[in-house]
């Protein structure tokens, strides 16, 4: 009789363990499915955001197959303005600072300051609100911008720069920048 009872208990425990394994595997598959669903959602969400960002930054210009990554820069380069700077008065302005002051804030065009040869003794700061500025000098005789500030004069090394550029999309071509320290 004891053996019959033991067999019944053994069968009961065996069926109970089989049932618990099935429940455990169902729970495991649900967790795995939830995890895979979560991963899939995150990947799809990232792709949507990435594609939306790329779409706003990338446009097909008129040329076939070429892409432009920065629309602001593209638009600025398509509408250029040239300002001539010459110390002898033959240009639009005699100093670089005067020419910069004539440019409207939050400018959206590429402004090329064509600077004639010479030594321009002036401190230049291009604020963040003046993007798309180009200093263009003569390759045979580049103009020089010079100033003599030092940390002891201005209080900080940063503010002692001869030319300080805080704006985006600044370009300097064929220019010399120097600091003359007087003893």
Kindly indicate the confidence band of residue 179, based on its pLDDT and cuts at 50, 70 and 90: confident
Predicted pLDDT at 162? 86
Kindly indicate the confidence band of residue 13, based on its pLDDT and cuts at 50, 70 and 90: confident
CA of residue 46 relative to chain centroid, distance: 20
Query: pLDDT tens digit string along 52-96?
Result: 665 655 555 555 555 556 788 888 889 999 999 999 999 999 999
**For the chain, where are the alpha helices, taking DSSP H only?**
2-57, 71-78, 96-101, 151-154
Cβ atoms within 10 Å of 80's Cβ, excluding its own: 12
Predicted pLDDT at 182? 66
Rounded to two decimals, what is the model's pTM? 0.61
Q: Which residues of 108-126 are buried (b: 16+ CB within 10 A; e: fewer)?
A: ebbbbbbbbebebeebbeb
Predicted pLDDT at 26? 66
Predicted pLDDT at 176? 94
Average pLDDT on 21-43 reads 74
Q: What does the domain layout of the chain look like in residue ranges?
A: 1-57, 71-179
Bigger pLDDT: 178 vs 159: 178
Q: How far apart are CA 52 and CA 15, in angstroms?
A: 55
Q: How far apart are CA 92 and CA 81, in angstroms?
A: 12
């Amino acid at each position: 009789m004891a053996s019959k009872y033991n067999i019944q208990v053994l069968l009961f425990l065996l069926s109970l363990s089989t049932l618990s394994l099935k429940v455990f595997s169902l729970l495991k598959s649900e967790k795995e499915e939830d995890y895979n669903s979560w991963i899939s959602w995150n990947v799809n969400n990232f792709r949507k955001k990435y594609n939306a960002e790329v779409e706003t930054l990338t446009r097909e210009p008129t040329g076939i197959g070429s892409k432009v990554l920065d629309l602001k820069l593209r638009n600025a380069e398509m509408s250029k303005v040239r300002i001539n700077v010459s110390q002898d008065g033959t240009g639009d302005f005699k100093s670089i600072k005067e020419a910069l002051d004539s440019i409207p804030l939050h400018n959206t065009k590429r402004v090329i300051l064509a600077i004639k040869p010479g030594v321009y003794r002036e401190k230049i700061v291009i604020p963040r609100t003046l993007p798309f500025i180009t200093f263009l000098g003569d390759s045979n005789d580049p103009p020089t911008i010079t100033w003599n500030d030092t940390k002891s004069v201005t209080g900080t090394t940063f503010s002692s720069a001869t030319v300080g550029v805080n704006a985006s999309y600044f370009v300097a071509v064929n220019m010399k920048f120097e600091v003359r320290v007087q003893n």
